[in-house]
Structure 1
Amino acid sequence: MRKNKTKKRKIFVYSLLAVFLAVIAAVSWYVYSGYSQMKGLQKSDSESRFGQFESKPEDKPPEWTGTERVNVLLMGGDERGLREGEVPRSDSMLVASIDPSTKRIHLFSVLRDTYIEIPGHGKDRANAALAIGGPELAMKAIGNLLDLDIQYYVYVDFQGFIKLVDAIGGVDFYVEKDMHYTDAADGHVYDIDLKKGQQHLDGEKALQYVRFRHDKLSDFTRTERQRNFLKAVADKLQSGWNIVKLPQIIGEISPYIETNLSPEDMLKLASLGFKSHQAGSAQVPPMELISEERVGGAAVLGVRDLDELQQYVREVLATDSSVSPSPSPSASPSASDAEGGSPGGSE
């Protein structure tokens, strides 16, 4: 009897061990598979659309040790109509700033027509930095504007954005207005036709939403839409099924994306991102610091005061819009409230 019990116990232990080893093997394959796919996001000079740009010591981004604030420049490029060897301007620019100590993420949209100093090249529109000197120069120029050290960049073209949204199964999102725009120049491939209301956006519809700027406020409202949609994509990526599919998702978007993030850095950032929350977002420059100027007959957006703009960035980084402000200790229900009156007075 004792031998049978011992034998059963051994079988049970060996079974648990086999299950444990199987799980370890599966996790190891998953990590290796994801790691291999992530390596494909870094392109060699011969593969990169930015391969002609030589890395300069003065533009080299600072290293991230994992403990200080990390900033990532996200750039979307419009590559339609480019000739062989031409480099696109950045159609969209956002900076994701993450503080490891507070676990806060802030997003800054940089208006592409902002007239800024591009190191070594004088002043130009912010979106020109990428075409002039590649990603490292763009990181340096935008970092100088915001007074932030930008360690990393991620570049994606239109097709990469479409593939990403489709890979995560689309996004349920509220479209705040009807959006219509046609352009025969590209054979109507990127026409925009969206209806107001809650709907499921696939990759093509999502691209229409984040590109639309043909209304009264043009790029000002477009950048806000981009920040809001990016948050929705981040939330969808954090869902359990998409975490399991991550290696497959990375593999599908790899041909359309370039970054200087190593696989190790991606894993560190991913771990930090899952522990963090979006604490706020803002447009740069803010409306009150914009001056309309003309350079060479073309309209650009000037910055009224660079010091004030950088102070504005610091103030945004110090806030957390996800936390409701505590009621004032002196606040107490008024007599009208006690009697059932409106707490806010008449509307």
Structure 2
Amino acid sequence: MRSRSKQTKSPKWKWIVISLSILLALVIAAVGVWGAGVLGELDGMQKSPENSIFKDIEPEKTVEVPKWEGKERVNIMLLGGDARDAQEGEIARSDSILVASFDPVTKKAHLFSVLRDTYADIEGYGQARVNSAITIGGPSLAMKTVGDMLGLEIQYYVYTDFEGFKALIDKLGGIWFDVEKDMYYTDNADQNRYDIDLQKGYQLLDGDKALQYVRFRHDAMSDFTRTERQRNFLKAVADELQKTWNLIQMKQILESVSPYIETNLSVTDMLKLGQLGLESHVGATAQIPPMELVSEDHIGGASVIGIRDDDALLGYVQEVLSKDETIPEPSPSPSPDASGGGTSGSTGSAGNGKL
């Protein structure tokens, strides 16, 4: 693991916490009530160029990052990196990719988890797995690649790795969680440091066990079920972060994870987003691409996830952004015979699916 040089959630921001790592849960704690110590730790997450893990990347093209003026939709890309196989000076591919989207007008927030093996256009470089964009051109190219795929302008990123995720969970004292089935996998990398061995049942997961849970993908649906597990676990982490004791010790929590986090969010940006988070509620979450638009392709002998229809995917993202799952579905209007005055014939027609 390479050394690192030197985000929280509002009660309504329950599912956006870490990108398989840390999340903006650590951002919202900075809404101004926890003092200079917390603000100092948050400021340390925006690394100077010489201390950035991306300092050695020299992309062929400079990618401009869109600015957020505070009134339009804002999108944050959350990246969890797996640096185990990276050589010194190399950047790890994104092991998990999430996009948190907020509308300051409607006060709705949405979360998208992007399948890392999705084959996408990387501007200026042709097509490749979406998780390789960060190794080619750093965070700006990754933001551009994912943003183009979703039809969104992504203004910010938060990046961390396995050790940052484990540090957060351990600092919280672990997370009580119901593991839905036995999970076992032998990983020969790093002297089996990242083997997975979990038993089914409700249990306290420390940082190591929690990482095993969110990484497991060795079942029939592979990454499809893994991204769902990650979203569910992040909800549990968010609930834990909002407990009084963890809010009190927020400075210590930030100190434990700050060395592993890198972001282009300034403290001012964090404060603005924190206020927006306090005012927002969850609209919906979704996987990208959705199952109906997934195609299993083979490129150079390797399996990748293709997108059946790029335009349909853009439409799907906008459809998700229009959803608000906090609003109950309207009840169907009662039929004229709902009071019991109908005939057996009308009951039969209803049973046949006719109105």
Which structure has the larger Rg? 1
In structure 2, what is the equivalent of residue 146 of structure 1? 150
Q: Which moved more, 1:73-82 or 1:144-153?
A: 73-82
Q: Give 2:322's match in structure 1, choosing from 306, 311, 318.
A: 318
The corresponding residue for 1:168 is: 172
Distance 1:66 1:244, change over 3 A: farther
Task: Say if 1:60 and 1:235 are closer, same or farther in 2 by CA, change over 3 A.
Answer: farther
SS of the aligned residue for 1:283 comes to strand
| Deviation, structure 1 residue 276 | 2.2
More helix by share: 1
Answer yes or no: is the 8 Å Cα contact 1:60–1:136 preserved in 2: yes
Contact 1:55 1:136 in 2 (8 A): no
1:53 shift after superposition:
2.9
Distance in 1 separating the partners of 2:205 and 2:288: 27
Paired residue for 1:202?
206
Using the alignment, how far apart are the partners of 1:220 and 1:275 within structure 2? 31
CA distance, structure 2, for counterparts of residue 300 and residue 136 of structure 1: 23
Residue aligned with 1:107, SS: strand
Match of 1:187, SS state, is helix
After the TM superposition, which residues 11-160 of structure 1 pair with which residues of structure 2 at under 5 Å, given as runs?
A: 30-54=34-58, 59-160=63-164
1:226 maps to 2:230? yes
Q: Structure 2 CA distance, aligned partners of 1:225 and 1:322?
A: 21
Equivalents in 2 of 1:249, 1:331: separation in Å?
Answer: 56
User: RCO higher in 1 or 2 (8 Å CA, sep ≥ 6)?
Assistant: 2
The residue type equivalent to 1:311 in the other structure is: G
The aligned counterpart of 1:294 is 298
Q: Deviations over 1:248-304 (max 9, x none)?
A: 211110111100000111122122223322221111111111111111111111111
- Structure 1 residue 57: Cα displacement: 8.1
- Distance in 2, matches of 1:331 and 1:32, equals 62
Q: 1:100 Cα deviation (Å)?
A: 2.0
Conserved? CA contact 1:44–1:51, under 8 Å: no
Structure 1 residue matching 2:49: 3-state secondary structure: coil
| Alignment match, 2:19 | none
SS of equivalent to 1:59: coil
Moved more, 170-179 or 108-117: 170-179
Moved more, 60-69 or 105-114: 60-69
SS in 1 for 2:153: coil
**Is contact 1:238-1:274 (8 Å) kept?**
no
Counterpart CA distance in 1 for 2:278 and 2:340 is 46
Deviation digits for residues 220-263 of structure 1 (CA, Å, limit 9, x no counterpart): 10011111112222222222222222222111101111000001
Percent identity, please: 57
The 5 A counterparts of 1:232-311 are 232-311=236-315
| Aligned-residue RMSD, C-alpha | 2.3
TM-score, normalised to structure 2's length? 0.82
Secondary structure of 1:223's partner? helix
Check 1:334–1:298 CA distance in 2 against 1; reply closer, same or farther (3 A cut): farther
- Amino acid of the structure 2 residue aligned with 1:280: A
Q: Provide the secondary structure at the position in 1 that maps to 2:66.
A: coil
The 3 A distance-change label for structure 1 pair 330 and 121 is same
2: CA distance, partners of 1:240 / 1:99: 28
**Equivalents in 1 of 2:290, 2:88: separation in Å?**
37
* Counterpart code for 2:199: K
| In 2, Cα distance between equivalents of 1:186 and 1:203 | 17
Q: Which residue matches 1:183?
A: 187
Q: Find the residue that maps to 1:280 and give its secondary structure.
A: strand
3-state DSSP of counterpart to 1:267: helix
Runs of 5+ unmatched residues, structure 1: 1-26, 337-344
Q: Quote the residue 1:21 is aligned against.
A: none
Q: Do 1:164 and 1:253's aligned partners in 2 also have CA atoms closer than 8 Å?
A: yes
- AA aligned opposite 2:329: P
Q: Distance in 1 between matches of 2:246 and 2:280?
A: 18
Check 1:112–1:334 CA distance in 2 against 1; reply closer, same or farther (3 A cut). farther
- Aligned partner of residue 69 in structure 2, secondary structure: coil
The 2-side partners of 1:225 and 1:153 are apart by 22
After the TM superposition, which of the residue ranges 246-255 and 71-80 deviates more from structure 2?
Answer: 246-255
* SS of the residue 1:46 aligns to: helix
Match of 1:20 in 2: none
Residue 328 of structure 1: how far off its partner (Å): 2.3
Quote the Cα distance in structure 2 between the aligned partners of 1:110 and 1:224. Answer: 11
